Amino acid sequence: MQWSAREICDLVDGKVIGDTEVKVSKPSRIEEGQPGTLSFLANMKYEEHIYSTKSSIVLVSNTFEPKTEINATLIKVTDVYLALSILMDKFEGQNKLQAEGFSSLAFVRDAAQIHDTVSIGAFTHIGESQIGEGTIIMSHVSISDRCQIGKNVRIYPGVKIYHDTIIGDNVIIHSNAVIGSDGFGFATNEDGTYKKMKQLGNVIIEDDVEIGANTTVDRASMGSTILRKGVKLDNLIQIGHNVEVGENTAMAAQAGIAGSTKLGKNCRVGGQTGFVGHLKIADGMQCQAQSGIGSNIKKENSILFGTPAIEYGNFVKSSVVFKHLPEMAKKLRELEKEVALLKKQNLTEQ
């Protein structure tokens, strides 16, 4: 299917600069654009490409003013990424995952309660669980007993969902994610060996959550590990037992949260960030990649960086000083020698 610049403009509430009837059928990166595709310019470090791109249409900010002639038709919008997200939904609709029905190679327990519209792929195992309308479960998925899975859930190949897990509507779980594995809990015996603490809780995933590939969400030791509505987890993330991640919080790849830590809503967590256990993190907290959070964050909308994490502005100022520490240490030693010499001279004169 093709969309004209005029039609796209109506979808994203934008303003067309150029040919209103030029048409596109798919997206492309601005530096690799081809006729019939739509690109975008949100980060100005890629501005050079807009003057040479072969894309037919480019989304740009309302504030963008070209430095020279541009061949592509421009659509100016208030928020480029939001407009792109709307359009990507349209493009994705052309190749949208389609339900394939019930594979004869799937194994489903007789006591399972599965809506007639559910699609189940080959070599998938489903225990005595409930699965709601319109859910698509691909191949090689394992769903244990007593799970509750809502409507329009999309579960990609290789996902493992342990017993008693509760999943809401419109959830997406990508390949090889593990939901409900045991939390990391051990007691130390007198001889230094470890005794495993039974993990008797579960995992609750509310509506509109997306979980990336190879991400692990541990079950609670008691009670529930909870991902609140709208949470977005990247690939390769570790969520420990009894953790609670607040509404609309987003976490980038390789971040990890130790047990019983509670993140507020609308937090943004950079890649490879680590949280120690039993913390409370205020709403709106943002932390840069590779930060280490070792204490409670009480102030809402805090912006943090570093290990241990401190206010972002202070970290930037400190990093400027840190780079000059060798030079500063050398000067300090020279000053110490000068002071010692002055003291010696002063004693001699006395």
CA 10 to each of CA 4, 74, 77, 147, 302: distance values in angstroms, whole numbers, following the listed order: 10, 14, 11, 42, 37
Chain centroid offset of residue 137 CA: 22
Q: Is 308 left (phi over 0), alpha (psi -120 to 50) or beta?
A: beta
Q: Could you say which of 140, 163, 241, 278 is catalytic?
A: 241
Active site residue 49: no
Residue 7 one-letter amino acid: E
Catalytic residues: 241
